[in-house]
């Protein structure tokens, strides 16, 4: 009998050892449009429990980059969730042209509402649920596209409903939201995050940036007047007031905490996954620019929200067996109006008209250009074939013509992408973004600092330049000690590294290299 008790004790101890070999919960936090330099630029005003906690206690990869041109939110979220380049995972933007059906395709559009219908490569959530049927995967974001691309076809996926600012999902994932979510929606709980006015968290003397538009700069004392910016956005709906202010990030973190408690994430020996995307950060950076007080104040408030969230999650999960991965989907360009002179911007609609006129002169009148979307120009294949023209020749002519436009730095034809291998330089980054079944006939890149005209955007992403491609990457908690890694790291490494930590098969299309600093810790 004594021997049996000893054997049972040994078995129980061994089981505990096995469960401790991997984290109970992995939390992926993706901050929209956060540059790598933002970790240090505002560090003097960060508190101890948020970003500073990650920087001082985690493994910081100081030179982590996306190695492709199309650094936009859906594209890079797909890279983070699949571990693959756009040329493999197939997400080239939120919209493209289907030549067979001769119609535009929306990434998350479906007959029964939004869903992952057009996603090709499996995500980390899918890999976890397939390998560990008892695991749970939850994804939370302010925007539907972000939530769906991060979560893929796996687990619970939630985003903000633009009509009422409540949390919603789609029939693809569930017939309805859980009762605890429905109750929160009925009470309009998210509206409590929206402040009557946006005032800076600190007095104005502590801010690094000086340009303010809609945020109110708080004076140091009663004698010093508060300063109101000149105004940039008119936020007419609750959803806009949520998305274009720090309230959006606060709401996402608040819902993420509820999800941890309600779904009991990290409470047993089977690992769980929580994906969080903070879209408000991107919206604020785009609207006001990275040089603005609005962007800076947003980071200080995010820092506080993060501190509160980290305290909660490490207290909630047994023994603090949590791995937090903190990163961004891309950086952002300098504001076009931040310099001494307002920078030129690229007018995409004008470009379409002029290219169509060029082809009218060359080959006769017709609707030659179907659409320009995310640096891709789509030509009318049916018309080209009807006129007896060679598609590759027309593509090449348009690419050469496009190079004459101010602001265009590179233009390559789809035929060149398909038939050539570019091992280095700008062409390699463009090729890494090229997916033959979805990309346009001519793929372009703009000159450094140039962005496309958009009334709501002072800054934007989607280039191969460092301000877009270099992002923060920090692993904190389980399996990650205080370390600063200076070597260059490709962002395709995130998903396979997390998969290795979880001891599951990597997502099927993953092509990134596992980070030894995390695996061998």
Name the pTM for this structure. Answer: 0.94
73 catalytic? Reply is yes
- pLDDT tens-digit profile of 181-190? 999 999 999 9
- pLDDT tens-digit profile of 347-369? 999 999 999 999 999 999 999 99
Residue-level pLDDT at 229 = 65
The residue whose two tokens read 């919603």 is 168
d(CA 420, CA 5) in angstroms, rounded, equals 68
Taking residues 415-429, what's their average pLDDT?
Answer: 96
State the DSSP code for 203: E
d(CA 70, CA 252) in angstroms, rounded, equals 26
CA distances from 127 to 48, 77, 431, 494 (A): 35, 16, 27, 14
Residue 512 pLDDT greater than 70, yes or no: yes
The more confident residue out of 101 and 462 is: 462
Percentage of residues in the chain having pLDDT higher than 70: 94
- pLDDT tens-digit profile of 426-479? 999 999 999 999 999 999 999 999 999 998 899 999 999 999 999 999 999 999
State the DSSP code for 43: G
Residue 388 pLDDT greater than 50, yes or no: yes
Residue 6 pLDDT greater than 50, yes or no: no
Residue 3 pLDDT greater than 60, yes or no: no
- pLDDT tens-digit profile of 311-329? 999 999 999 999 999 999 9
Residue-level pLDDT at 435 = 98
Q: Indicate the SS3 state at residue 319.
A: helix
Residue 14 pLDDT greater than 50, yes or no: no
d(CA 129, CA 273) in angstroms, rounded, equals 9
CATH of domain 343-447: 3.30.1360.150
CA distances from 279 to 99, 248, 298, 331, 463 (A): 31, 8, 12, 13, 19
d(CA 233, CA 487) in angstroms, rounded, equals 40
What does the buried/exposed string (b/e) look like for 164-175 if buried means 16 or more CB atoms within 10 Å of the residue's CB? ebbbbbbebbee
The secondary structure element, H or E, covering residue 8 is helix 2-19
Task: Give me the catalytic one of 59, 71, 72, 73.
Answer: 73
d(CA 13, CA 480) in angstroms, rounded, equals 24
d(CA 452, CA 291) in angstroms, rounded, equals 19
Residue 245 pLDDT greater than 80, yes or no: yes
What mean pLDDT, rounded, does the chain reach? 94
Dihedral (C-alpha) 390, 391, 394, 398: value to the nearest 10 degrees?
Answer: -170
Residue 105: phi, psi to the nearest 5?
-120, 130
Residue-level pLDDT at 100 = 85
Min mean pLDDT across 101-115, 169-183, 402-416 is at 101-115
Taking residues 244-253, what's their average pLDDT?
Answer: 98
Residue-level pLDDT at 225 = 58
Residue 267 pLDDT greater than 50, yes or no: yes
Per-residue tokens: 289 = 């620019």
Residue-level pLDDT at 287 = 97
**Extents of the domains making up the chain:** 23-335+462-516, 343-447
Residue-level pLDDT at 169 = 98
CATH of domain 23-335+462-516: 3.40.720.10
Per-residue tokens: 191 = 């509206």
Residue-level pLDDT at 38 = 98
What does the buried/exposed string (b/e) look like for 88-109 if buried means 16 or more CB atoms within 10 Å of the residue's CB? bbbbbbbbbbebeeeeeeebbe
Min mean pLDDT across 21-25, 242-246, 341-345, 385-389 is at 341-345
Residue-level pLDDT at 220 = 64
Residue-level pLDDT at 339 = 82
Residue-level pLDDT at 223 = 53
- pLDDT tens-digit profile of 270-316? 999 999 999 999 999 999 999 999 999 999 999 999 999 999 999 99
Taking residues 41-52, what's their average pLDDT?
Answer: 98
Q: How many CA atoms lie within 13 A of 445 on its CB side?
A: 22
Residue 13 pLDDT greater than 60, yes or no: no
Residue 134 pLDDT greater than 80, yes or no: yes
Residue-level pLDDT at 231 = 77
Report which of 476, 463, 468, 483 is spatially closest to residue 62, judged by C-alpha positions.
483
């Amino acid at each position: 009998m004594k021997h049996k008790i000893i054997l049972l004790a040994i078995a129980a101890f061994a089981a505990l050892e096995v469960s401790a070999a991997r984290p109970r919960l992995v939390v992926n936090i993706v901050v929209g449009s956060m540059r790598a330099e933002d970790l240090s630029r505002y560090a003097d005003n960060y508190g101890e429990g948020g970003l500073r906690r990650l920087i001082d206690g985690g493994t910081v990869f100081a030179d982590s980059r996306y190695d492709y041109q199309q650094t936009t939110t859906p594209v890079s979220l797909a890279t983070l969730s699949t571990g693959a380049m756009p040329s493999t995972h197939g997400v080239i933007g939120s919209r493209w042209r289907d030549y067979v059906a001769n119609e535009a395709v929306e990434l998350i559009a479906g007959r029964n509402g939004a869903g992952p219908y057009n996603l090709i490569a499996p995500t980390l959530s899918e890999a976890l649920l397939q390998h560990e049927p008892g695991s749970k995967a939850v994804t939370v974001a302010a925007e539907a596209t972000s939530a769906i691309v991060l979560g893929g076809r796996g687990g619970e996926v939630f985003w903000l409903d633009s009509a009422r600012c409540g949390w919603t999902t789609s029939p693809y994932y569930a017939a309805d939201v859980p009762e605890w979510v429905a109750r929160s929606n009925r009470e309009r709980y998210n509206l409590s995050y929206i402040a009557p006015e946006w005032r800076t968290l600190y007095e104005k003397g502590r801010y690094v940036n000086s340009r303010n538009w809609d945020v109110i700069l708080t004076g140091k004392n009663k004698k010093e007047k508060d300063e109101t910016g000149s105004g940039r956005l008119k936020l007419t709906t609750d959803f806009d007031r949520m998305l274009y202010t720090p309230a959006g990030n606060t709401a996402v973190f608040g819902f993420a905490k509820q999800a941890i408690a309600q779904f009991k994430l990290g409470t047993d020996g089977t690992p769980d996954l929580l994906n969080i995307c903070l879209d408000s950060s991107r919206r604020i950076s785009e609207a006001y620019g990275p040089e603005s007080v609005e962007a800076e104040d947003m980071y200080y408030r995010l820092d506080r929200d993060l501190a509160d969230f980290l305290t909660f999650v490490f207290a909630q999960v047994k023994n603090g067996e949590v791995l937090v991965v903190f990163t961004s989907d891309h950086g952002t360009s300098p504001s076009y109006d931040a310099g001494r002179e307002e920078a030129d911007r690229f007018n995409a609609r004008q470009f379409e008209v002029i290219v169509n006129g060029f082809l009218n002169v060359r080959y006769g009148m017709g609707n030659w250009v179907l659409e320009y979307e995310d640096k891709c120009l789509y030509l009318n294949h049916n018309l080209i074939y009807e006129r007896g023209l060679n598609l590759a020749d027309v593509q090449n002519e348009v690419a050469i013509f496009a190079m004459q436009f101010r602001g265009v730095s590179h233009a390559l034809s789809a035929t060149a992408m398909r038939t050539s291998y570019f091992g280095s330089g700008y062409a390699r980054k463009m090729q890494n973004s090229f997916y033959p079944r979805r990309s346009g006939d001519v793929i372009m890149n703009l000159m450094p600092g140039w962005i496309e005209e958009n009334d709501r955007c002072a800054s934007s992403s989607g280039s191969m330049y460092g301000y877009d491609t270099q992002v923060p990457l920090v692993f904190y908690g389980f399996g990650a000690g205080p370390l600063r890694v200076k070597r260059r790291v490709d962002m395709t490494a995130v998903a396979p590294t997390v998969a290795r930590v979880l001891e599951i098969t990597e997502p099927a299309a993953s092509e990134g290299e596992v980070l030894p600093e995390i695996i061998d810790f």
